[in-house]
Structure 1
Amino acid sequence: MPQILFSDVDKTLKPKVEFFQEMGLVGPDLCKFISRNSRIFSSSLENKLIPCTQILKKILVNDKNNQDLIRIVRRRSWLITMNPESRLLRNIAFFESCGIVGSQLSILLKMKPTLFVVEESKVRDLVSRVSDLGFSFHSRMFVYGLCIVFSLNKEIFERKLELLRSFGFTNNEAMEIFRKQPMLFSNSEERLKVIPRYRVMQILKSKSLLVLNKEPSFFMMLAVSEKKFLEKFVEKFTDDAEELLVAYRGHMLDSSSSSPSSEEINLDAS
């Protein structure tokens, strides 16, 4: 943007710099933002930057010190350089008509801001697809399902379903897993190979061995290391350890990276 060198400092540059400073972008952070998004200086402060920012701030609930707003603007600066009367407001109105309001709309904006500016027809198709996959508009998982369906093409989505089926889940069970934990599908296929841990959790739950209200989330089961998982959910339950281990290893893919080593498994010692 070499034309910035010919801009009026007091009328064009200074007001916009001060606008972002008031938002919370200061010091080195402001310098990086400007250097990466120099085209913001070609956008009208009164007609685009201010109104678009106000719209985003209205959506973001409990945004202390504009931290969420700043993260979004850093990632997608073009969100505040467009005509707010175009797709932005229309897509917001459509999401709200589907029941995506309040904190749910805020989550959607933070996760997939691009959804707010894609063609309205595409947004309607996405919402229709998510509904067809069995998500209820009243479910808290709907927005997460929307994000995943938007991010993955049908071929990759089907491959991940097939991976679940390869572990012994029926198609209905695989879809139920997706509806309950759609963000699970944001993981790579290699990462999804820890799904057999779910079998272990099913056994623990059926035997009432999990502490009430402390059942681990799917993300916790994905994130914990192999050694920690075995210690916490297999070796800990000495009377059922053998059954749990069989359930775990019986569904694992034949992969040296995912199979626990003999050093990690010491059922006799426990």
Structure 2
Amino acid sequence: MIAIVRRNLSLLSNPNSFLCNSNAHSSPSIHFFSTRRIKRILIPSPEICDVLVNKHQFSPELASLASSRLPKFRDPQRADSVLSFLKENIFTTAQLQKLVIYDPRILGFTIERFESRFKVFQNLGLSSEEIAKMISHGPAIIHSSMENRINPRLSILKGLIGSNDDVARFLKRCPWLLVTDLERSLIPNVEIVKSTGIPMERVLHLVYASPRGFLIKPDIMRKSVDKAIEIGVPHNSVVFIYAVGVFNYTSQGMWEVKLETLRNLGFSDKDILKIFRTHPHVFSASGNKLKKKVELLLATGKYSVSNIAASPSALGCSVEKRIEPRMQILKLLESRNLIEKWPCLSAVLKPRDEEFMEKFVRPYYDEIGEELITQRSML
């Protein structure tokens, strides 16, 4: 048995398992303006600044930076009409600022550019609020060609998913699908996963659950799917795509660190393999984070490595928001002789905050309330 476990685990350590890392995507901010190479002197437009600040509640700093990045269209009336039109279509001030931060040239666009997009999205059944939210999360939609990009990709999604309602549901979750080359990523990757025997309905559920996982290079997807199958991850559940995602976005060096970290903490290869098969998302955390979680639980003296291996979802919890605060509460209850023994790990970490408070805090609040408030202020 040990030999089989080690052979299966060696599949995780294969240098060819996953060869690519995810690219970092930072949110647009004012910092965007200051770091971009600028070959000309930035000269703000006082007229456009006045429109942005006094009519549309932009900060003077953002208004100055935005107006200086307009190379040709420095028409304050057009800038005003664009922002006023978007406000009429339920865009909030924060959403407008996000669009301008992404690319100030939006202030020189025509109203027709927006109308053509809004009409298409409205025909899918999206409300004005939903369209505003979608575009603010995927501002490149405004800059993409309707003829060459938006409409063809909507056709691909409709052919893959089916109804307008389902396409709209996907776009609300991941609007950037409209600015992604779906023919080179999503479509072939769907076919790769489907080839494992997963019904198309389930594949689409996986796409909805983890859309970015289907936008990698197909050769990487094929290798990751093959490895997940070899290791024994059940491919009829959402766990399968999480396992594939780990392979897709974790380098070989990072993976080895995680394996060695768990081994050094006392986990057997059998334990590690079991955790990966049932809770692969746990391995998305860095080796240091995994180590911190395990050490914190072991330091209580109430939980062992075998307890953690039996409740691997614990390793998916946040140290700051869940593990540490709840351990502190149990220590407090024990110090007041309010509990005889600590409950099992899953009973402590699995419940939602409200459920945990109802079970472990509310019945004892008269005894621990004041100390609990003090303790919380220190966490």
Task: Give the TM-score normalised by structure 2.
Answer: 0.47
Conserved 8 A contact 2:153-2:182: no
Correspondence for 1:194 among 293, 296, 302: 293
2:329 aligned residue: 231
The alignment partner of 2:303 has SS state of helix
For the aligned residue pairs, the C-alpha RMSD in angstroms reads 4.4
> Percent of aligned pairs with the same residue?
20
Structure 2 unmatched runs, 5+: 1-102, 346-370, 373-379
Distance 1:90 1:204 in 2: 38
CA positional deviation for 1:107: 4.6
**Amino acid in the other structure paired with 1:160:** K
The residue type equivalent to 2:293 in the other structure is V
Q: Show the counterpart of 1:124.
A: 222
Which residues of structure 1 form unaligned runs of 5+? 207-214, 245-262, 265-270
- Other structure's SS at 1:95 match: helix
- For the residues of structure 1 that align with 2:228 and 2:312, how far apart are their CA atoms? 26
Equivalent position SS for 1:98: coil
After superposition, give the CA deviation of every residue in 1:87-113 in whole Å (9 maximum; x if it has no partner).
533322221121334564245324543
Q: Provide the rounded CA distance (Å) in 2 between the counterparts of 1:45 and 1:13.
A: 15
Structure 1 counterpart SS, 2:220? helix
Larger radius of gyration: 2
Q: Does residue 142 in structure 1 map to residue 240 in structure 2?
A: yes
C-alpha distance in 1 between matches for 2:189 and 2:244: 14
- Structure 1 stretch displaced more, 178-187 or 116-125: 116-125
Contact 2:228 2:240 survives alignment (8 Å): yes
Residues 179-190 of structure 1 mapped to structure 2, 5 A cutoff: 179-190=277-288
Per the TM alignment, residue 33 of structure 1 is displaced from its structure 2 partner at its CA by: 5.2
Counterpart of 1:71 (choices 152, 157, 173) is 173
Deviations 1:187-240 (A, max 9, x none): 23343221353882755999xxxxxxxx89434575514131353598488444
SS in structure 2 at match of 1:200 = coil
**Cα distance between partner residues in 2 of 1:32 and 1:141:** 31
Secondary structure of 2:234's partner? coil
Contact 1:21 1:30 survives alignment (8 Å): no
Q: Output the CA distance in 2 between the equivalents of 1:183 and 1:53.
A: 27
- Match of 2:153? 49
Contact 1:126 1:146 survives alignment (8 Å): yes
Distance 1:158 1:57, change over 3 A: same
- Give me the whole-angstrom Cα distance separating, in 1, the residues matched to 2:322 and 2:223: 36
State the Cα distance separating 1:18 from its structure 2 match. 1.2
Match of 2:189, SS state, is helix
- Whether the 8 Å CA contact 1:91–1:120 is kept in 2: the answer is yes
8 Å contact kept, 1:57–1:69: no
The answer to whether structure 1 residue 166 and structure 2 residue 268 are counterparts is no
Indicate conservation of the 8 Å contact 2:134/2:171, yes or no.
Answer: no
- The amino acid across from 1:26 in the alignment is S
> How far apart are the structure 1 equivalents of 2:330 and 2:309?
14
User: Which fold has the larger relative contact order, with Cα–Cα distance below 8 Å and residues 6 or more apart in sequence?
Assistant: 2
Aligned match of 1:29 in 130, 133, 147? 133
